[in-house]
Every structure is written in structure tokens, then in C-alpha cells.
Amino acid sequence: ETGVTQSPTHLIKTRGQQVTLRCSSQSGHNTVSWYQQALGQGPQFIFQYYREEENGRGNFPPRFSGLQFPNYSSELNVNALELDDSALYLCASSLDDEQFFGPGTRLTVL
């Protein structure tokens, strides 16, 4: 059984660009949640996908969007990048209340 994987590991973008981050959920998990973790802070919930439908959203603007595919993998898209978007982006998969996190993608916006 493989755990949650994310790609890429690191990414550097410039302000105004767009970025796509990817996540493969743990085998058998049908729910994927995305979190943003700024340096020195706890993860902040962005949104959640359950069986390919958005199932909840945190306090993030619409330029943060996502997808979930039939195999339950997921993408996080961020448009019009801002400097404050620099953070560790975490994906977590779950079948019930227990959420298991991937290693994250470190995004730096210059």
C-alpha cells in the first residue's frame, strides 16, 4: 500500500504566473483535502474533494481551484500568483476522519 505522494517537490514561479500541483491519494481513499502551510504556521484548509466533487472550501479566493480524477488523484491550481502564495502546499487523503498527509510541494513566488 503506497502513501500519499505529491509532485513536484519544489517549484519556483514569478508573480502573476499560474501553477498546478499534483497529488496521488493513498490506496482506497476517496477524499482529498488541500492545505496551505505558511512558514512557522499550522496548515490552513483550502478545499476538499470527495468522489470528484468539491466538498467544502476554506477562506481562499477563487483563483485557487482544484480537480479530482476518477482514480481519486487530485490537482490544485493557483492562478495569478502573489508573493503571499509562497508556502508548503499539503495534500491529505482520507476514507474517514483520519487524514494522511503527503510530503508537500514547496512553492516559492518571486
Taking alpha carbons only, the member of 75, 44, 79 closest to residue 64 is 79
Peptide bond into 43 cis (omega under 30): no
Q: Nearest approach, Cβ of 88 to another protein (angstroms)? A: 8
Q: Least Å distance between CB 35 and another protein? A: 8
| Binding piece for another protein, criterion CB under 8 A, among 13-21, 31-39, 62-70, 71-79 | 31-39
Residue 16: CB minimum distance to another protein, A: 28
The CA distance from 81 to 13, in Å, is 8
CA trace torsion 14, 20, 24, 25 (10° rounding): 100
Does position 22 interact with another protein (CB under 8 A)? The reply is: no
Q: With respect to another protein, which residue has the nearer C-beta, 53 or 97?
A: 97
